[in-house]
């Protein structure tokens, strides 16, 4: 009696998995290269338009417009929205222009109230970046209270098992205590 069996699958090549997943944003199918290229193309278009006398809304190249529409649709994903906002806050000029906007404060605190782990990680990073800057104002502090963000921090600390989220929450708390002491 011969026992035949199917051959084992070939061993997985970890290097191939890393190459394939390298371009993805988190666990999504979104491409980092696509997002960065779309933003770079927008910056190039804006630089070209700077030299033209303002005669109304600028027309974008069709491909740039299509890419930006797709990027806009992608930001409906809360995690990506929080991540993009956090990445923008890494730039001092963006930080200076965006932090005074009440819509940014409201968006940040509404996202922080979410219970989705990747969104919480990115939103904690966003709030941490803003809170360590000189642009963390009384309005941000008031909004932090008004939106119940202290309760959200307590929720994260008491219920999260994600070391990445706990680290971001700890950074946020550290920054807030530094702000309060000064």
For residue 22, the model assigns a pLDDT of 76
Predicted confidence (pLDDT) per residue in 17-47, tens digit: 454 557 777 666 778 888 888 888 888 877 7
pLDDT in tens, 115-162: 999 999 999 999 999 999 999 999 999 999 999 999 999 999 999 999
End-to-end CA distance of the chain: 82
Residue pLDDT, tens place only, 52-89:
555 556 677 888 888 888 877 776 788 888 998 999 99
Domain boundaries, the chain: 20-50+59-74, 78-182
User: pTM of this prediction?
Assistant: 0.62
What is the spatial distance between Cα 23 and Cα 152, in angstroms, rounded to a whole number?
A: 32
Q: Domain 78-182's class? A: mainly alpha
Spatial separation of the C-alpha atoms in residues 19 and 10, rounded to whole Å: 18
């Amino acid at each position: 009696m011969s026992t035949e069996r199917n051959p084992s699958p070939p061993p997985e090549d970890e290097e191939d998995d890393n190459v394939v997943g390298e371009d993805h944003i988190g666990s999504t199918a979104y491409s980092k290269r696509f997002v960065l290229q779309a933003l770079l193309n927008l910056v190039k278009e804006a630089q070209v338009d700077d030299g033209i006398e303002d005669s109304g809304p600028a027309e974008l190249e069709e491909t740039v417009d299509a890419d930006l529409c797709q990027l806009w649709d992608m930001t409906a994903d809360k995690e990506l929205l929080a991540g993009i906002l956090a990445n923008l806050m890494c730039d001092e000029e963006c930080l200076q222009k965006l932090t005074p906007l009440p819509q940014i404060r409201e968006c940040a605190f509404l996202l922080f109230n979410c219970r989705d782990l990747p969104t919480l990680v990115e939103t904690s990073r966003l709030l941490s970046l803003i809170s360590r800057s000189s642009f963390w104002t009384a309005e941000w502090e008031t909004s932090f209270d008004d939106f119940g963000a202290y309760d959200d921090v307590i929720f994260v600390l008491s219920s999260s098992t994600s070391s990445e989220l706990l680290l971001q929450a700890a950074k946020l708390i550290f920054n807030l205590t530094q702000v309060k002491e000064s």
